[in-house]
Amino acid sequence: MNALGKLRVSLAVIGIIYILIPLIVVIPASFTSANFPSFPAEGFSLQWYSKILERPEFMEAFFNSVQFAFLAAFFSVLFGTLGAIGIAKYEIPGKAYITSILTAPLSVPQLVLGIALLVYFTPLLLSGTSTGFLIAHIIICIPYVIRLVLTGLSGFDYNLERAAAILGANPIVVFWKVTLPLIRPAIISGGLFAFLTSFDNVTVSLFMISPEMRTLPIEIFSTMQDAYNPIVASVSTVVILISVILIIILEKLQGVGNVFGGSNHTSG
């Protein structure tokens, strides 16, 4: 490799480290024995993990997050899969417009979306309710499910459905025994992606929560704003662990990079 190539690779390594470093430092910091968060950690202890169990608000927020993420994934996959099949399989007039309408929530900043939903939900008596929260999360998950399932359907051979129908299967059996198994990886990826999107979301959730109903990222966010406490490091490590497990499954199914290709993902 020539000098220029070496320069290019070393700059790339610096860039990759820059992307990864905030996540890397959180994990060792969670094992600190000190009362303040630091990297490198001072001493070693698991006290901040046991403190999570002593703080009911974190446990409650965790179960809320899992519950909402599961429901948001379920509904966005349900609506999204039906919609994607509708777009991919049938000659609907204005197909391209419909696809861009369905992925439009991605191009509106989450902050603005959160504001719009809060203002809209209040007269409908939905603000601060779990229904409102769930609706908001389904809206931000749908574009990803649509994109992933459409990709899964792009090479789909509809002759297989036709063959099953000729052999006497009714449309429901065709869908259940032929279509669904073939696009299952795409649907599972969509579901996992929706789960993570909902589980990790802060911006839209900030407008949807109520004092009684908070999620884990929101709890971390407000703890960070009030006082920097090492408990944030241990809770964050748990979040990283959950994300990493789901990312590994997602990568095996569809490839993480494919999801973001040419996207307009909004977070932060």
Q: Which of residues 79-98 bind other proteins (CB under 8 A)?
A: 79-80, 82-83, 85-87, 89-93, 98
Residues numbered 25-54 forming contacts with other proteins, rule: CB under 8 A = 25-26, 29, 37-40
Task: Specify the stretch interacting with other proteins by CB under 8 A; choose among 44-52, 72-80, 149-157, 176-184.
Answer: 72-80
Given the complex with other proteins, which of 11 and 125 has the nearer CB atom? 11
Q: How many residues does the chain have?
A: 268
Helix axes 56-89, 130-153, angle to 10 degrees: 40
Q: Helix (H, G, I), strand (E, B), or coil: what is residue 89?
A: helix
Least distance in Å: CB of 91 to other proteins?
Answer: 4
Q: How far apart are CA 157 and CA 137, in angstroms?
A: 32
Select the span of 48-56, 148-156, 183-191, 240-248 touching other proteins (CB under 8 A). 240-248
| Of positions 61, 72, 73, 117, contacts other proteins by CB under 8 A | 117
Whole-number minimum distance, CB 46 to other proteins, in Å? 18
C-beta atoms surrounding 66 within 10 Å: 16
Q: What is the rounded distance in angstroms from the CA atom of residue 245 to the CA atom of residue 71? A: 19
Q: Which is nearer to other proteins, 47 or 79 (CB)?
A: 79
End-to-end Cα spacing for the chain: 39
Candidate residues 9, 46, 245, 249; the one interacting with other proteins per rule CB under 8 A: 9
- CA dist 107 → 72, 102, 148, 266 (Å): 19, 11, 17, 7
Write out the binding residues for other proteins, residues 178-237 only, by CB under 8 A: 193, 196, 199-203, 206-207, 217, 220-221, 224-225, 228, 232-233, 236
What residues from 151 to 170 belong to the interface with other proteins (CB under 8 A)? none
CB of 138 to other proteins, least distance (A): 7
Task: Dig out the tokens for 99 from the structure.
Answer: 């696809």
12: helix, coil or strand? Answer: helix
- 8-state DSSP, 41: P
Nearer to other proteins, 97 or 184 (CB): 97
Number of residues engaging other proteins in binding (CB under 8 A): 99
Least separation in angstroms between residue 177's CB and other proteins is 18
Q: Does 57 bind other proteins (CB under 8 A)?
A: no
Q: How far is the CB of 204 from other proteins (least distance, A)?
A: 10
Q: Which stretch binds other proteins (CB under 8 A): 42-50, 53-61, 114-122, 179-187?
A: 114-122
- What are the φ and ψ backbone dihedral angles of 210, each rounded to 5 degrees? -130, 165
Whole-number Å distance between alpha carbons of 129 and 137: 13
Measuring CA to CA, how many Å separate 169 from each of 48, 177, 181, 222? 57, 9, 15, 55
CA dist 239 and 227 (Å) reads 19
Candidates 21, 46, 160, 163; binder of other proteins (CB under 8 A) is 21
